[in-house]
Amino acid sequence: MNKKGQKSIGLGTILVIAVLVIGVIWYINSTKAPTYDPNQVGGNCYITPSISAVGTDALVLNQNVTPSGYAYVVTNNVYPSGRYVGTSYSPILGDKLDILTSATGYLPDEQIVQSATCDKNPVAFSFKSYENATVTIKQDAKNGASALTNNIAGGAVNATAVTSGGSTSLPVIIEGTTQKSTGKIFMVVELPASSAANVSSVSFNGGTQVSSIPTCLSSNNANAYRVAYEIPAIDGYASNAYNLVITTNAGKTLAGGVYTTYYAEKKFADSTGVIKEGVCDSTNTAQYQDSYSYNFLLA
């Protein structure tokens, strides 16, 4: 028996309250914004993944640069080893994206998104404005340090022909430009026609000799001794001194026009599914940023 002034709550009342509480909870949850786990690879996104790109000048403080055009290499469950998918791509949650983009007057830049999340994926590109290096090649120091005439046929100042079993050392000055980059330089030295049998060696201190010259870079002379070096990029102004040393075989001399050509390497999306840096792609198609030369005569 209930005490005076107290009332019991019946089972029906409890059921009604429970239904009302459940209804309120359902209503609150149904009006909430959907949630997702951005790290749940393979899960669903309520906001589709996208790329939000910004660009700045790497050599000029507070200078914005507008990216223009993209290339995507994608690694995911479909392409576990990575695949170049082209210039247009909508990311999928969990994708690894290797993204290359360019801007007018700048070397292309590459950035990586390790795992795409839902909604915007911010990517900050840092570009270097491009400018050809200034090259000067001088006479053998023993005969003076005047700049050689930049002409394959020679002119007022020429290098001295290399004697039998002898050597010549030619100073090479390569300069950069303030707030610009030369990019990595691929330098090709091509000696006169039929020189292959006459030359013992060619060296270039400060450059790394490459094992072979890509066929997309054409030669000028038949049976010429030809060698190439990679030279580090110059960012901003610097004046770097090198020496080009040419040595002949015993009983052989060397005279004639010498070509030195400089190719600015850049990054590009290769059809093999990777982003590379160089002068030619895997199909031997030229990809370099620009080229310039300094040619002289051994006489």
Phi, psi of 22 (to 5 degrees): -60, -40
Indicate the range of 13-22, 64-73, 107-116, 207-216 predicted with least confidence: 13-22
Using pLDDT thresholds of 50, 70 and 90, give the confidence band for residue 27. Answer: low
Say whether pLDDT at 289 is over 60.
Answer: yes
| Residue 61 vs residue 141, higher pLDDT | 61
* Alpha carbons 79 and 139: distance in angstroms, whole number: 55
Query: pTM for the full model?
Result: 0.84
- On the question of pLDDT at 33 being above 50, the answer is no
- Given pLDDT bands bounded at 50, 70 and 90, which one contains residue 228? very high
pLDDT > 70: what percent of the chain?
85
β-bridge partners, 130: 181
Give the separation between CA 53 and CA 121, rounded to whole angstroms: 8
Strands, E assignment, the chain:
50-57, 68-75, 83-86, 96-102, 106-107, 109-113, 120-129, 134-137, 167-175, 185-190, 199-204, 208-209, 226-231, 239-248, 256-264, 266-269, 275-278, 291-293, 296-298
Tokens 């046929």 identify what position? 153
Residue 39 pLDDT exceeds 50: no
Phi-psi region at 86: left, alpha or beta (left = phi > 0; alpha = psi -120 to 50): left
How far is the C-alpha of 213 from the C-alpha of 228, rounded, in Å?
7
Domain ranges of the chain: 50-129, 134-298
User: One-letter amino acid identity for 100?
Assistant: L
Q: What is the CATH number of domain 50-129?
A: 2.60.40
Q: Give, in degrees to the nearest 5, the angle at Cα 250 between 248 and 256.
A: 35
Task: Please check whether residue 115 is in contact with residue 135, taking contact to mean a CB–CB distance below 8 angstroms.
Answer: no
What is the average pLDDT across 11-20? Answer: 55
List, for residues 72-88, the tens digit of each pLDDT value. Answer: 999 998 888 888 888 88
Q: Whole-angstrom Cα distance, residue 97 to residue 110?
A: 10
Q: What CATH number does domain 134-298 carry, 1.20.1630, 1.10.10, 2.60.40, 3.90.660? A: 2.60.40
CA distance 43 to 27: 25
For the segment 108-143, what is each residue's pLDDT rounded down to a tens digit?
Answer: 999 999 999 999 999 999 999 999 999 999 998 776
pLDDT of 274 over the 80 cut: yes
Instruction: Determine contact, residues 131/180, Cβ cutoff 8 Å.
Output: yes
User: Which pLDDT score is estimated for 38?
Assistant: 45
The average pLDDT across 224-250 equals 98
Work out the percent of the chain whose per-residue pLDDT is above 90. Answer: 77
Place of tokens 């001295």: 160
